[in-house]
Amino acid sequence: MPTEDRHTAGGDALATARLLQQLLQLAKKKGIRTLGALIQG
């Protein structure tokens, strides 16, 4: 995952959002559709 502006509030927030998007896409591919299902693993 490419990063820009590391160790700045904006850059760190953007990197976190991108990571969350990737993780949610992975969960979706595995058939996980709800937060409850994600938490249960």
pLDDT tens, residue order, the chain (41 aa): 666 677 888 888 998 999 999 999 999 999 999 999 989 97
Q: Are 11 and 4 in contact (CB under 8 A)?
A: yes
Model-wide pTM > 0.85: no
How many whole angstroms separate alpha carbon 38 and alpha carbon 32? 6
Residue-level pLDDT at 4:
67
Which pLDDT score, from 0 to 100, does residue 37 have? 94
Closest CA to 19 of 35, 2, 6, 32: 2
Residue ranges covered by each domain of the chain: 9-40
Helical (H) or strand (E) element with 35 = helix 35-40
Q: How far does the chain reach from its first CA to its final CA, in angstroms?
A: 24
